[in-house]
Amino acid sequence: MTATKRATDTLIMLIALLLAWQALHQVVGATAFPGPVPTLAYLAKLVPSERFAENAWATLVCFFYALMLSYGIGLAIGVWMGIHRMSGAVGEPILISLYTLPKVTLYPVVLLIFGLSLSGRVTFGAMHGVLPVALLTMTAIRNIPPVYLKSARTLQLSRWQTILTLLFPATLPEVIAGLRIGFSLTLLGVLLAEMFAAKHGLGFLIINAMQLMQAEEMVTIAVVLFGFAAFANAMLLWIEHQLHPRV
The CATH code of the domain that includes 66 is: 1.10.3720.10
Question: What local confidence, expressed as pLDDT, does residue 31 receive?
Answer: 67
Over residues 24-62, the pLDDT tens digits come to 767 766 666 777 788 788 888 888 888 888 888 989 999
Count up the domains in the chain and report the number.
1
238, part of any domain: yes
Domain with 200, as residue range(s), is: 57-243
Residue 73: the pLDDT is 92
Burial class of residue 193 (count of CB atoms within 10 Å of its CB; 0-12, 13-18, 19+): buried
Inside any domain, residue 6: no
Note whether residue 8 is domain-resident: no
Among candidate residues 46, 24, 37, 26, the one with its CA nearest the CA of residue 209? 46
Does the residue 25 lie in any domain?
A: no
Closest CA to 44 of 215, 209, 216: 216
Best CA proximity match to 243, nearest among 183, 159, 143, 171 = 171
Please identify every stretch of the chain with a pLDDT value under 50, giving residue numbers as ranges: 1, 247
pLDDT of residue 247: 45
pLDDT value at residue 32: 66
Which of 137, 29, 4 lies closest to 83 in space, CA to CA? 137
Torsion angle in degrees (nearest 10) through CA of 159, 161, 162, 164: 120
